[in-house]
Amino acid sequence: MAVAAFVIVPSSTRGAIVPGSLNDVAAVRTAPAEATEVAPQSAAIVEDTETREIVAQPTLRRQIPRIRFAGNRRTYEFLIAHPPFATQLARRLSPPLERYTVTQIQEGVYTVEDRGALRGEARLIAAMGDHRVYRFQGEFRSLAHLLRFKGRIVLILQYREVRQGNLIFIDSDPDFYLRIDHPFFHIMTKLLSPLVISIVDRRVQTMIEATRTVFDRVRTDSSGLYRQMRAWPEVDPADAEAFRQTFLDKENVQ
């Protein structure tokens, strides 16, 4: 949902997929079909019954390798706190995301669409410290719409700021859970898991590249980006103002 959170990553340090740099998509692993225990730190913040159900009994789980962004917590948290705005920036700066839209319909609830390939509702379930938990419900289509199913997804984001000498990074560790409740499609998805995984990997990699582009532009040229966005009709002036107040000295930017 920064773009990456609705998933918004860089260098991989353990075997899973994340926003930042994807060293080896093949290294991403799928969890066993059996019930999955919620990690203790996640259990503490996931009190939503439906979210716990999806995490405990996923049709498919993807543990995404650690992603490293060159930048600080302020940039990361601003982007994940403004999903529609972050997506608008990504669409402008990364052409592969031109079809992707996120619209806020109420506090913490968003519609997400990718021109028929993906359509549904995303909801922020928990935001505590360095954790974010999102739940998505909708319809997914791929392979020229030959593969089409409805499902529910939980995305758990954990992140932390890391300093190496004079450099500051954000390490992000996303966990992805897909639940298909229809018995037939639940079984078929498990049988076709390599195919489904490849589809997920391609989509995540696109998100990763877009997120990296946005993150780097905010970090290296926030003033120039601010001037550009004021001319983009889709950008809400309130979001542009929030960006200015967060990243720019108002006396130096007109």
Q: Please report the pLDDT score of residue 5 as a whole number.
A: 52
pLDDT exceeds 90 at position 95: no
Mean pLDDT of 64-93: 91
47: pLDDT strictly greater than 80: no
* Best-predicted range by mean pLDDT (63-67, 75-79, 98-102, 178-182): 75-79
In whole angstroms, give the CA distance from residue 31 to residue 198: 15
Positive or negative torsion for Cα 29, 35, 38, 39:
negative
Task: Provide the percentage of residues in the chain whose pLDDT is more than 90.
Answer: 37
* Mean pLDDT of all residues belonging to the chain: 77
Q: Of residues 188 and 87, which shows the higher confidence score? A: 87
DSSP 166-233: TEEEEEEEEEEEEE--SHHHHHHHHHTHHHHHHHHHHHHHHHHHHHHHHHHHHHHHHHHHHHHHTT-T
- pLDDT at position 119: 87
Report the sign of the C-alpha dihedral through residues 236, 241, 247, 250, in that order.
positive
Is 239's pLDDT higher than 80?
yes
Measured in degrees and rounded to the nearest 5, phi and psi for residue 128 equal -145, 115
In whole angstroms, how far apart are CA 169 and each of 3, 76, 166, 209?
18, 10, 10, 17
pLDDT at 251 over 60: no
Q: What's the first-to-final CA gap in the chain, in angstroms?
A: 30
Whether the predicted pLDDT of 254 surpasses 60: no
What pLDDT shows up at residue 144? 54
Which tens digit of pLDDT belongs to each residue from 99-113? 889 999 999 999 998
CB 104 within 8 A of CB 121: no
Other beta carbons within 10 angstroms of residue 24's beta carbon come to 10
Query: Higher confidence at residue 120 or residue 207?
Result: 120
Q: What pTM, to 2 d.p., does this model score?
A: 0.76
Nearest-5° Cα angle at 93, 234 to 241: 45
Concatenating the DSSP letter of every residue in 26-48 gives GG-EEPPSS--PPPHHHHTT---
Average pLDDT of the residues in 124-139: 90
> What pLDDT sits at residue 45?
46
Q: In this structure, what token pair is assigned to residue 32?
A: 């066993």
d(CA 132, CA 109): 14
241 DSSP 8-state letter: H
Model confidence at 9, pLDDT cuts 50, 70, 90, reads very low
**Beta pairing partners, 109:** 106, 123
Q: Which pLDDT belongs to residue 10?
A: 29
Task: Quick: pLDDT tens for 205-236.
Answer: 788 888 889 989 998 999 999 999 999 999 99
Q: Does domain 25-246 have CATH number 3.30.530.20?
A: yes
Q: Which residues pair with 240 in a beta bridge?
A: none
> Residue 148: what pLDDT?
73
Give the pLDDT score at 209.
84
